[in-house]
Amino acid sequence: MEEEEEEDDVLLAVSPAGSCHRTDCGRRRVQVPSGARLWRQLSCHNVITGKWTPSSEDEAVGRLPGFGMTTLIINGNLECGKGTTTPQEQRRKGFFDRYCTDLGIDQGSNLDCANMQPY
């Protein structure tokens, strides 16, 4: 009788700075939390900190710096490029508005991705 190997996932705690810490050393497979993967794609961080500059192609299809671009990076065609703000995006913008108000900071421009073409 063959023994089946247990295939549990190793979860990593990933900070925005990129350092990882194992939370369970006794398991074999590694999965990086989805938020960490998304953080490193096109880079919400670079959009938020102003380090991302849209190319002329990005500008031509409405991809501009702002909160809407972070939604496009994370949810792409699920919420963006529909020509109107989806209920999910409207909720997300509501939270963003509340946090900006609570912190006393300006929201900036390009708050939705309704007219941004997904990648």
Residue with tokens 């398991």: 27
Indicate yes or no: pTM above 0.75.
Answer: no
**Same domain for 103 and 47:** yes
**Same domain for 19 and 48:** no
**Same domain for 29 and 45:** no
The whole-angstrom separation of Cα 56 and Cα 111 is: 20
**Same domain for 45 and 12:** no
Per-residue pLDDT of the chain (119 residues; tens, 9 = 90+): 444 433 333 333 433 444 444 444 444 444 545 555 545 557 888 998 888 999 999 999 999 999 999 999 988 889 999 999 999 999 999 999 999 999 999 999 999 999 999 98
- List Cβ neighbours of 96 (8 Å cut-off, separation of 6 or more): 67, 107, 111
**Same domain for 58 and 29:** no
**Same domain for 102 and 45:** yes
* Domain ranges, residue 107: 41-119
In total, how many domains does the chain have?
A: 2
